[in-house]
Structure 1
Amino acid sequence: MTRPVFADPKTGFVFKRLFGSEEHKDLILALLNGLLELDRAHRIVSVELLAPEQRPAVTELKYSIVDVKCRDARGVTYVVEMQVLNVEGFEKRVVYNVAKAYVGQLGRGQLYPELNDVIGITICDFELWPRSEGLHVPMLSRWRMQEQHDGERGLGQLQFVFLELPKYDVSRPPQTVVERWAYFFREAESLTMVPEVLAQPPYVDALEAARTAGFSEEEWDAYIRAGMAIQDERGALSLARMEGRKEGREDGLRQGIEAVCQVLGIELTDARRQEMATLDAAGLAALIARIQARKDWQA
Structure 2
Amino acid sequence: MNELLDPRNDFVFKRIFGSEENKDVLLAFLNRTFAESNEPPLSEIVLLNPYTDKDAPLDKQSIFDIWAKTSEGKLINIEMQLFNKYDIEKRTLFYWSKRYSSQLQEGNTYKELKKCVTINILNYSFLANDRYHNVFHLREDHTGLALTDDIEVHFMELSKLSDQMLPHEGGLINWLLFLKGADKSNWEVLKMNEPTLGKAMDTLEFLSQDGEARRLYEERQKFLHDEASMIEWATEKGMKQGIEKGERQKAIEIAKNMLALGIDLSLIVKASGLSEKEVKAL
TM range (shorter): 0.7 to 0.9
- Letter matched to residue 228 of structure 1: K
1:174 alignment counterpart = 167
2:95 alignment counterpart = 97
1:70 alignment counterpart = 68
For residues 42-53 of structure 1, the aligned pairs below 5 Å read 42-51=40-49
1:240 shift after superposition:
3.4
1:219 alignment counterpart = 213
What is the CA–CA distance in structure 1 between the aligned matches of 2:93 and 2:39, rounded to whole Å? 29
What is the CA–CA distance in structure 2 between the aligned matches of 1:140 and 1:173, rounded to whole Å? 16
1:228 shift after superposition:
1.5
Larger radius of gyration: 1
In structure 2, the CA distance between the partners of 1:89 and 1:242, relative to structure 1 (3 Å rule), is closer
Q: Which of these residues, 22, 25, 30, is aligned with residue 24 of structure 1?
A: 22
- Letter matched to residue 11 of structure 1: N
1:192 shift after superposition:
6.7
Aligned residues: 233
What is the CA–CA distance in structure 2 between the aligned matches of 1:215 and 1:112, rounded to whole Å? 49
Q: Which of these residues, 198, 201, 207, is aligned with residue 191 of structure 2?
A: 198
In structure 2, the CA distance between the partners of 1:208 and 1:40, relative to structure 1 (3 Å rule), is farther
State the Cα deviation string for residues 119-170 of structure 1 (Å, max 9, x = none).
11111111111xxxxx336211110011123221231111111111111133
Q: Which of these residues, 190, 203, 208, is aligned with residue 209 of structure 1?
A: 203
In structure 2, the CA distance between the partners of 1:218 and 1:95, relative to structure 1 (3 Å rule), is same
What is the CA–CA distance in structure 2 between the aligned matches of 1:21 and 1:33, rounded to whole Å? 17
State the Cα deviation string for residues 178-216 of structure 1 (Å, max 9, x = none).
21112111115x637834233442212111111146654
Secondary structure of the 2:83 match is: coil
1:243 shift after superposition:
3.8
1:136 alignment counterpart = 129
1:237 shift after superposition:
3.4
Identity %: 27
In structure 2, the CA distance between the partners of 1:247 and 1:195, relative to structure 1 (3 Å rule), is farther
Secondary structure of the 2:156 match is: strand
State the Cα deviation string for residues 99-137 of structure 1 (Å, max 9, x = none).
1111111112222111111111111111111xxxxx336
In structure 2, the CA distance between the partners of 1:112 and 1:137, relative to structure 1 (3 Å rule), is farther
1:66 shift after superposition:
3.3
Does the CA-based 8 Å contact 1:212-1:220 persist in structure 2? no
Does the CA-based 8 Å contact 2:7-2:13 persist in structure 1? yes
State the Cα deviation string for residues 204-240 of structure 1 (Å, max 9, x = none).
2111111146654322211111111122223323433
Q: Tell me, which stretches of 5 or more residues in structure 1 are unaligned? A: 53-61, 130-134, 253-299
2:259 alignment counterpart = none
In structure 2, the CA distance between the partners of 1:216 and 1:114, relative to structure 1 (3 Å rule), is same
* Aligned-residue RMSD, C-alpha: 2.9
2:31 alignment counterpart = 33
What is the CA–CA distance in structure 2 between the aligned matches of 1:9 and 1:149, rounded to whole Å? 41
What is the CA–CA distance in structure 2 between the aligned matches of 1:40 and 1:127, rounded to whole Å? 24
Q: Which of these residues, 11, 14, 24, is aligned with residue 13 of structure 1?
A: 11
